[in-house]
Each structure stands twice: as structure tokens, then as C-alpha cells.
């Protein structure tokens, strides 16, 4: 290591089992953030070195392995932010390597590379959870972009893990029933939606409203009880359609064309009516942000990318909700590529009293904004919480401090 520069290690494996090390100097201007640690896995040494030369122009530490077994050994011995692997390799191909790495590190983004692209391998890459499927030779600009994006997502996954450890994990609710079906029928018949403002505090304006379901049936005293019953009864589709219809009926009466944040259960993404041009929300799609919670796994939606792409073609935008309280992986970001993220209120509560919370939220805000996402701080109840979130760079705020959820549409006094 020399003064005023960063010595970046490059491990080059000239044979499947051998590792040789050399270093490259990176100027001072590039040491403002931690170097991205990349593992390249390719049995073609020339291809591997070409990828390596490209990546060493970035603030990157590069290791090169020429076989699957050598790559696994490297992963066991050290942590990487991104792994680039060729698909067609002897002994252990890219798919087998991906499965093996997942047993060691369930989060690290894995980019699969191939010189012989086919529809079947592309589809399989998505099915097994590859971060990207890239055709060789890859342009340096594209390679750098993919690696930078993957590294940011991996860092976000790590910050989310810190948040989960800080807050503890919540277990799903479980309840009773007897005449649950009849009670749920009454719930759907009397269901209504409240709206809570989402504000741009610096601009002193209402940016949008979140649509929140409310029950008038005593057996379902809060939204969680309604969702729990719908899930037990297999009636989530009915519930989701009812909420979307009620929300759509209120939109025409809003002034200044605000955004409307509408919560989706993961299984709503499987409902064909959501993607239909006849959907109640479709005429207002450019005002709608569909919220998908971090508290549920996306694994049960096998063609999620295609569904999200179709929703975007219709004009909808996507938000990841409850950031910091749910699944501490990067799947939701990699698959949804949301325009908005909403910080869970557990991170916001008393944030002015907790240096750890402030540090975690600051990291989340910076990483989200680096990826082009707007950040909403939820559950703001005090002036102190508001001021800290504004200082940390949150784009929008939501909570009782500004207005409680109410019939369309509550006002905010700035």
C-alpha cells in the first residue's frame, strides 16, 4: 500500500486450483467509498483477464477463478459484493456454481455470462435467481453498470440485515374462527378506505396519499386481522379487488393530480384483473404507485419480472414498503427495481434518540437514492422525527404529525 492511493488486489488463477496475486494502484479520488469486491469465474483465461482489466478501471478489488471448485473455495475464504460467472464450464457449470454459492451466501448477486445465449438459458437464469444474464463479449460500460448496481443492492441487503437485527423480527399474526366466512362477507360489504397524506416537507406540498383499508366489523379490528382472514379463507383476490375498486372511486375527486399509493399483497400480483385494461385503477395508472411489502417473500410469483414490466407499460410505478422490517435480502430490489422505497415506521420511532437508527436510515437513504429511488419516511409522529428525517435526506414524509388517515381527503397544515 502506498500513501495517497489504494492497493487493489487482483487474484489470477492460471489453473483450476492455483491462485496468484498482483496489485493495481487506484488514484486517491476513487477511495471515497469502499472498493467493490468482485469474483470472476471463467475457464477461458483470456476472457477472464479482459473482464478483469475492465473492472480494474473502477474502484474494484478483483479475484479470478478458472473453475467452479476454485470459485467455491474463494467464496468460503472471503466475502464478495458481486460474482460474475460463465455458464459453460467443465466439471461445474454456472448454474451448479450458483446453487453451491447460495448454500454459503444467500444474498450475494450472481451475474451469469454466456457467449452462446439461448432463450432456455436466459429463462433458467431468471428461475434460479441470477441477478443478471449477460451476453459475451460485454461492453465495458454495460459491465461497469451491472457491477455497480449489483454492489449497491448487496450493500442495501447488508444494511437491511442490520435493521432487522436492530428491530427484531415480527412473527405473522394468527387468530381464531368459526363463522369466519360469514364475518368476512360482512367485512367486504362494509369495507372502506382511508387516505393519509404523503408530504414533501421542503416544498410544503402534498405529494400523494396512501390508500388504507378499514373494517367496520368488530371481528376485524385492524387491517392485519382482515388480511389474516382473507389468507386463511383463500379470498385474497376478493379483498384486493375490493380495495382497488374503492380507491379508484375516490381518485376523480382529488385536486392537483396527487400520487396514490395502493398496497398489494404478493398474491395480488398473480391476479389477472390487476393487469387488465378493465382494472378500476387502469384509467389512473400514471398516478398510482403499487406498494409491495418487504414482509412477504416474492418467491411464489415465478414470472414476477414479466408482470412488473407489464404493470410499468400500463403506467404504474412500484414501491417497496416496510423497508427494514422484512426479508433482509436483495430479491425485492433486484426483481421490482422500485421507483420508491418506504422506510418502516419502526426505524423512524424515536430516531432522534438513537445514533444506530440514524446511521442505518442514512445508509438506506443514500443507497436508495444512488439507485434512483425516492425515499418515504413512514410513521412520523413528532417534530423531532420529522427534522431528523429531513436532515438525513428523505424525499417524502408520512405520519400522524401531518394527518391521520381519514375519508378523502385530509388536509395538511404546513
**pLDDT score, position 182:** 82
Range of the domain at 109: 5-166
Cell of 237: 383476490
**pLDDT score, position 164:** 65
CATH number at residue 83: 3.40.50.2300
**pLDDT score, position 210:** 97
**pLDDT score, position 172:** 32
Q: Is residue 269 part of a domain?
A: yes
Based on the fold, state whether residues 10 and 43 are members of the same structural domain. yes
Query: Residue written as cell 448496481?
Result: 149
Q: Is residue 412 part of a domain?
A: no
Following DSSP, what letter does each residue of 108-137 receive, concatenated?
S-EEEEESS--HHHHHHHHHTT-SEEEESS
Based on the fold, state whether residues 185 and 161 are members of the same structural domain. no
Query: Residue written as cell 448487496?
Result: 154
CATH number at residue 269: 3.20.20.450
**pLDDT score, position 176:** 40
Question: Considering only CA atoms, which of 74, 66, 130 is closest in space to residue 102?
Answer: 130
Q: Is residue 172 part of a domain?
A: no
What's the count of helices (H) and strands (E) in the chain, helices before strands?
13, 15
**pLDDT score, position 325:** 60
Edge-to-edge strands, sheet with 132-135: 20-27, 5-12, 60-65, 36-41, 82-86, 110-114, 132-135
Based on the fold, state whether residues 314 and 242 are members of the same structural domain. yes
Mean pLDDT for each consecutive 10-residue tract of the chain (414 residues)?
32 46 40 76 91 88 91 88 92 87 81 86 76 89 92 84 63 45 88 96 96 87 85 88 96 95 92 93 97 76 89 95 63 82 91 93 92 94 96 96 93 89
Give me the number of domains the chain comprises.
Answer: 2
Based on the fold, state whether residues 334 and 252 are members of the same structural domain. yes
Q: Is residue 410 part of a domain?
A: no
**pLDDT score, position 410:** 93
Amino acid at each position: 500500500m502506498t500513501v495517497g492511493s489504494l492497493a487493489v488486489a487482483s487474484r489470477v488463477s492460471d489453473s483450476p486450483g492455483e491462485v496468484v496475486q498482483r496489485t493495481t494502484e487506484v488514484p486517491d479520488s476513487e477511495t471515497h467509498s469502499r472498493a467493490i469486491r468482485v469474483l470472476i469465474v471463467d475457464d477461458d483465461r483470456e476472457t477472464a483477464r479482459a473482464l478483469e482489466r475492465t473492472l480494474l478501471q473502477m474502484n474494484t478489488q478483483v479475484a479470478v477463478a478458472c473453475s467452479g471448485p476454485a470459485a467455491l473455495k474463494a467464496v468460503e475464504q472471503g466475502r464478495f459484493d458481486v460474482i460474475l460467472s460463465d455458464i459453460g464450464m467443465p466439471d461445474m457449470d454456472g448454474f451448479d456454481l450458483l446453487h453451491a454459492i447460495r448454500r454459503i451466501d444467500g444474498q450475494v448477486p450472481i451475474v451469469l455470462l454466456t457467449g452462446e445465449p439461448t432463450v432456455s438459458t436466459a429463462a433458467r437464469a431468471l428461475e434460479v435467481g441470477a441477478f443478471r444474464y449477460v451476453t459475451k463479449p460485454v461492453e465495458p460500460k454495460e459491465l461497469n453498470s451491472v457491477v455497480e448496481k449489483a454492489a449497491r443492492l448487496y450493500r442495501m441487503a447488508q444494511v437491511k440485515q442490520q435493521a432487522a437485527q436492530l428491530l427484531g423480527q415480527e412473527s405473522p399474526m394468527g387468530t381464531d374462527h368459526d363463522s369466519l366466512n360469514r364475518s368476512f362477507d360482512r367485512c367486504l360489504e362494509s369495507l372502506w378506505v382511508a387516505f393519509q397524506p404523503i408530504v414533501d416537507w421542503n416544498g410544503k406540498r402534498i405529494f400523494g396519499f396512501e390508500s388504507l383499508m378499514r373494517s367496520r366489523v368488530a371481528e376485524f379490528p385492524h387491517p392485519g386481522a382482515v388480511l389474516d382472514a382473507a389468507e386463511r379463507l383463500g379470498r385474497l383476490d376478493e379483498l384486493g379487488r375490493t380495495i382497488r375498486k374503492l380507491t379508484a372511486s375516490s381518485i376523480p375527486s382529488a385536486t392537483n393530480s396527487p400520487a396514490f399509493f395502493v398496497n398489494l399483497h404478493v398474491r395480488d400480483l398473480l391476479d389477472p384483473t390487476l393487469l387488465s385494461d378493465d382494472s378500476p385503477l387502469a384509467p389512473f395508472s400514471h398516478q398510482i404507485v403499487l406498494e409491495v411489502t418487504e414482509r412477504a417473500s416474492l418467491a411464489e410469483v415465478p414470472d414476477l419480472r414479466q408482470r412488473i414490466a407489464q404493470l410499468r407499460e400500463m403506467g404504474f410505478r412500484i414501491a417497496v414498503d416496510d423497508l427494514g422490517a422484512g426479508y433482509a435480502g436483495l430479491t425485492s430490489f433486484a426483481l421490482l427495481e422500485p421507483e420508491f422505497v418506504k422506510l418502516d415506521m419502526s426505524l423512524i420511532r424515536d430516531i432522534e434518540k438513537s445514533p444506530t437508527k440514524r446511521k442505518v436510515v442514512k445508509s438506506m437513504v443514500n443507497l436508495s437514492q444512488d439507485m434512483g429511488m425516492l425515499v418515504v419516511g413512514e410513521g412520523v409522529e413528532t417534530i423531532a422525527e420529522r427534522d431528523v428525517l429531513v436532515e438525513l435526506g428523505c424525499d417524502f414524509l408520512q405520519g400522524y404529525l401531518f394527518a391521520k388517515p381519514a375519508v378523502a381527503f385530509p388536509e395538511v397544515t404546513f
